[in-house]
Chains A and B, each alone.
Chain A
């Protein structure tokens, strides 16, 4: 026979009063748990959709647009336009250790035509590394432009999924020929549908990519619109940006500290900011949920106070018979925790059911805003946070009333009617 079973025996003898109030309290806890589960699940869904969205643009990348110098350097006055070539991309890949891959981009908005359909969309000339850098995954059966396309200046084209739909409708695009400003290109791949948060010049789904070498040869443009590079680890970004300016600064004679020479969009930094905002939102949602749950917890504490009052005499009798304080307190804490977890269990069950239903409905709805909101997700951290909150609540809701219960001297309590 040990303390735990004594506590359980006392608990069994205690759970018989205040039935109606108990049901109400359990319902309050259930409601609080449902709201915290829903709020946290929405937060989690939002977070996942954000993370997916960022990954859609590419992970650990920076986009650089050549700018205009703002500082005098090596005898040159400020205000000089800078322009980049594909060979500069090779230069920075070779000269900056942190940069693992890079590509130039030349952009224009030519006419694309297939049969009688024609649209004006962005066409990008890029190195094959672009697929990896900017997360352009080919849908089944197709491929991205490759090294050979690049070397041989082949007229091949990789279409964004929306663009492919615009041009071809239900028709299979692979192997078809698209006219880009009346120049025929063979469709070698269509992009997989993806979520994309960050973008410049329009969503990836709505543009097409051709080899940069072909672009130069066919459309006669050499200068890059911009450049994209990637680092292996996000922490290397700062150093990579600095080295990038140093390497190009030598070639084009600009001050590496001149921030206007190359305009840099550091997505690592942007994503960090985004993550912080998400954490803020999650904390906010969690606090709202916790407050709702707290109301239920106050209910539990309240009912436990009532139980203590109701049972003052019984508790005093138990103490007169030699129940140690920890047994009396233990019984009440167990009771409060049990109430909390009964309510919490129901709440988690209902909450998860609601979340699953919403997620299912959401997956069927084709709506931009809904897509962005993400599917509510009941994840392990959400479950852990909920259970921890419930546990803490139960303990607190039992502890304070139980302290009152044992604070009275048994002699006084025995007189209490």
Chain B
């Protein structure tokens, strides 16, 4: 079913030869809001290899989302080292970070984060637009992706005209648009009913089988059970990894 999701063995090799896509070493993140200092992450070491399906679980406030933001280059760590495909992310300029988010990482959010004024089709087109893809190629790619997630007949609909599950499928199609190295999902089933949630889980499994690397933050035990590897975060540290 997800033949087009395969990215041609892109994850097969990388710079340092050990297959590590994400390497976090001693990552700390401190939020200073006025007089209060909150340490969201206090020394996280985590390695994700290309082709892995990893879930991150933990109670709310444990630092899961902060971790995802840092891995997704949406936020910068206060301390520690983050290497993406062997490259030190801390040295990237803001525009290089934008490029990394565009080309290497696909985001799937709990609340979908689709742009409300744009149609499903245009939402999927957007990252391709940022990547500078030519109009025709962009349209073809967007159509192909939406067909893959089973929304060929919903392309011109606005997000508000779609169900939660459909919105999340659009978001997944969007995340895959630029054939990213890593798919990051933050509670992807959190806002969905159990049926839609199961569908999305199947999509993730198919993606994994097609060779994608997935890092999924979740409360959903169903997902955590299905994934071969689950990392537990508590109080800003990794307390279990199995």
Contacts and interface: CB of A to CB of B under 8 A. Distances in A.
Contacts of A409: 74-76
A9 B129 contact: yes
A191 B162 CA distance: 85
B74 A411 contact: yes
* A interface residue count range (under 10 / 10 to 19 / 20 to 34 / 35 or more): 20 to 34
Contact of A13 (B101, B115, B133): B115
A327 interface: yes
B2 interface: no
B68 to A, nearest CB: 9
A404 B115 CA distance: 20
Contacts of B232: none
A199 B115 CA distance: 73
B99 A320 contact: no
A320 B131 CA distance: 13
Interface in A1-28: 1-2, 6, 9, 13, 16
Contacts of A410: 74-75, 101
- Of the listed residues B69, B101, B129, B133, the one surrounded by the most CB atoms of chain A closer than 10 A to its CB is B129
Interface in B127-154: 127, 129-135, 138
- Of the listed residues A321, A325, A412, A414, the one surrounded by the most CB atoms of chain B closer than 10 A to its CB is A321
Interface stretch (A67-75, A220-228, A311-319): A311-319
A322 B127 contact: yes
A109 interface: no
Nearest to B177: A321
B117 interface: yes
B126 interface: yes
Contact of A323 (B98, B109, B113, B122): B98
A324 interface: yes
B193 interface: no
Contacts, number: 74
B98 A319 contact: yes
B82 interface: no
A323 B72 contact: no
Contacts of A327: 130
Contacts of A2: 132
Contact of B132 (A1, A16, A317): A1
Contacts of A16: 117
A313 B113 CA distance: 8
Nearest to A13: B117
- Of the listed residues A1, A318, A409, the one surrounded by the most CB atoms of chain B closer than 10 A to its CB is A1
Closest CB pairs A-B (n = 5): A322-B102, A411-B75, A411-B69, A411-B74, A321-B127
Interface of B: 69, 72, 74-76, 94-95, 98-103, 107, 109, 113-118, 122, 126-127, 129-135, 138, 174, 178
28 contacts: A1-B129, A1-B132, A1-B134, A1-B138, A13-B115, A13-B118, A16-B117, A314-B115, A314-B116, A317-B113, A317-B114, A317-B115, A318-B130, A320-B107, A321-B126, A322-B100, A322-B127, A322-B130, A323-B98, A323-B102, A324-B95, A324-B130, A325-B94, A327-B130, A409-B74, A411-B74, A412-B75, A414-B109
